[in-house]
Amino acid sequence: MESVTPRPVCAKEAIDLLNCSVENPFDRDKCLRLLDALRSCVLEKKVRKFFVAEQTSAAEEPKNKENP
């Protein structure tokens, strides 16, 4: 049986809001619009909870002891 990676629900809306929050200068009105968009998405998709998946980069992966 193949493992299935869940498709991120409302990921674009969440990322847009997070990126808005760190922009300089901060545009509160824009971020509120993005918050409203995220809220609409989670209500439409019936999202109950978000989580952040951990990612590993090539630098963090253990090195093969046979090939240094």
- Judge whether 23 lies within some domain: yes
pLDDT along the chain (68 residues), means of 10: 72 96 98 98 92 68 49
pLDDT in the model for residue 52: 80
- Judge whether 67 lies within some domain: no
- Judge whether 32 lies within some domain: yes
Tally of domains in the chain: 1
- Judge whether 41 lies within some domain: yes
- Judge whether 59 lies within some domain: no
Q: Is the dihedral of CA 43, 7, 52, 4 positive or negative?
A: positive
- Judge whether 50 lies within some domain: no
- Judge whether 52 lies within some domain: no
Task: State the pTM of this model.
Answer: 0.67
pLDDT in the model for residue 6: 66
Structural domain boundaries enclosing 26: 11-45
Q: How far is CA 61 from the centre of its chain?
A: 22
- Judge whether 60 lies within some domain: no
